[in-house]
Amino acid sequence: MATFVDEVRLYLRAGDGGNGCMSIRREKFKPLAGPDGGDGGNGGDIVLVADPDVTTLLTYHHTPHQRSDAGGFGMGDYRNGTQGRDLELPVPVGTVVRDSDGEVLIDLDTAGMRFVAAEGGLGGRGNNSLASSKRKAPGFALLGTPGDELELVLELKTVADVALVGYPSAGKSSLIAAMSAAKPKIADYPFTTLHPNLGVIETGNSRFTMADVPGLIEGASEGRGLGLEFLRHVERCEALLHVLDCATLEPGRDPLSDLDVILAELDAYEVPEGQTPLTQRPAIVALNKIDVPDGRELAEFVRPELEERGFKVMLVSTVSHEGLRELGFALGEIVEAARERRVDDDQHRERIVIRPKAVDENDFTIRVEGGTWGDIYRILGRKPERWVAQTDFANDEAVGYLADRLAKLGLEDALVAKGAQAGSTVVIGPGDGMIFDWEPTLSSAAEVMTARGTDIRFEERTRRTTKERRDDYYKWMDAKASARAELEQEREAGLWRESDEAADSPENSR
């Protein structure tokens, strides 16, 4: 069973925003007292947090699908929806976050760094918050937007001050176990170390970390052995400690040839832009296993030649601990010098200037695409895409509100500048998006009223106004007077008499 994972693929789904509520407050003797629909809650974000207590990505190897909570929907009586809880994913310090195309998004190389990997959707506004002096009783609410859904690749690169470099079974694990409290696996066969081990070294006033990484063989830069899995963890180290085996029994191997192979592989590995190549970093050569007589003799023999190459050479033994104290002080000097250089570089680093967005800068772009039946005008931008996602297209008033927002954004003027005409096909958003047959906003108020959607509340009026009731009363009184005049004319003409009317009454028919 795997206990260390340094690369995983994550599938993230942030929570959706809740829908706003369309509600009308009702009171005694006042059935339409005003809008009281609440807003929907925002969906929860998914945040990656660099945690020094986490050392592996094994958790996300078993559970690659992560999802945050959705926001609650708004309700009447001014009740807003609940906010979706953010989901925090702790990752080891030194985790590099890439998108599905391999582009680096962020390098979490400092403890406590936070990165919002997937943003939750926005909650829709209720009709109470949409009310204004011109729209006192909105008959619609905005929908919540969906949360981000994406795929990320997490790659762990060990953060340490010194990296142990050498052939398999050169004694790297034994060296870090002897100099620190680390307990790596130690055995007499190659590739005992399958994942990095970190140890803390204290020498005088210096304190630094040392990384024991899998062994390096010829062709590692091309993926042989543990190859790139090894070299990836050397990138961040300030100094290298070449551990050479002076008591190997393998034919054709000696400390000088081993060092040449290691340097060739380090030189072939391409580090990220802006970092110092691995072969140009401070390095110390440790000739190991001098507790063996033949090993000590070989170490004394090759030491002058290594010093001629410019290396500082230390003779050590992990069994007798000979030379380990001096090696620790030598590494501490290199680490402290590197830290001073880093502080100086940070002080002279170019400042990042964040400039505010210009007032007249558009929040969208229009791209003209050729289609079978003519040009298609595709609108891309965070605002128009979000507004379309929030619109309930089954509500005419909501569609009219969307048209007003797009017009205020300057979208119609931009379409005219691109050559769009009435009836042109407009698509908002990437892919299929939302397709419209564009009709420009008309200028006069009467034309605007005919061009906008209708509101059913203004079409079905069940209560008559005072003027309508007065007119109906006058019409009824006029009709009654007209009927009396007609009867009087018939009586005067002799068509009927009052005695006839009395004879036909129910009382005389008994």
Going by the annotation, the residues of the binding site for GTP are: 166-173, 191-195, 212-215, 288-291, 317-319
SS (H, E, C) 149-212: EEEEEEEECCCCCEEEECCCCCCHHHHHHHHCCCCCCCCCCCCCCCCCEEEEEEECCEEEEEEE
Which H or E run contains 389?
A: helix 382-389
Look at the alpha carbons of 245, 247, 248, 254 in this order and tell me if their dihedral is positive or negative: positive
d(CA 391, CA 429): 14
Evaluate whether 255 touches 287 at the Cβ level (below 8 Å).
yes
DSSP, collapsed to helix, strand or coil, labels residue 92 as strand
**Are 262 and 216 a contacting pair, CB within 8 Å?**
yes
Question: How many angstroms separate the CA atoms of 246 and 314, rounded?
Answer: 12
* DSSP strand pairing (65-67 vs 149-156): unpaired
Annotated binding-site members: 166-173, 191-195, 212-215, 288-291, 317-319
Q: 450 by DSSP, 3-state: which?
A: helix
The Cα 288–Cα 300 span in angstroms is 11
Q: How far apart are CA 402 and CA 327, in angstroms?
A: 71
Task: Dump strand ranges (E) for 30-112.
Answer: 46-51, 65-67, 87-92, 95-99, 104-108
Which residues are annotated as part of the binding site for Mg(2+)? 173, 193
Please give the radius of gyration of the chain, using alpha carbons only, rounded to the nearest integer: 41
How many whole angstroms separate alpha carbon 225 and alpha carbon 167?
Answer: 11
User: Which secondary-structure segment (H or E) carries 336?
Assistant: helix 324-347
Helices of type H across 4-90? 58-62
Which residues have a Cβ under 8 Å from the Cβ of 11 and sit 6 or more positions away? 64, 65, 66, 151
The rounded distance, in Å, linking the Cα atoms of 95 and 153 is: 10
First-to-final CA distance of the chain:
111
183 close to 177: Cβ distance less than 8 angstroms: yes
Tell me how far apart the alpha carbons of residues 250 and 256 are, in angstroms, rounded to a whole number: 14
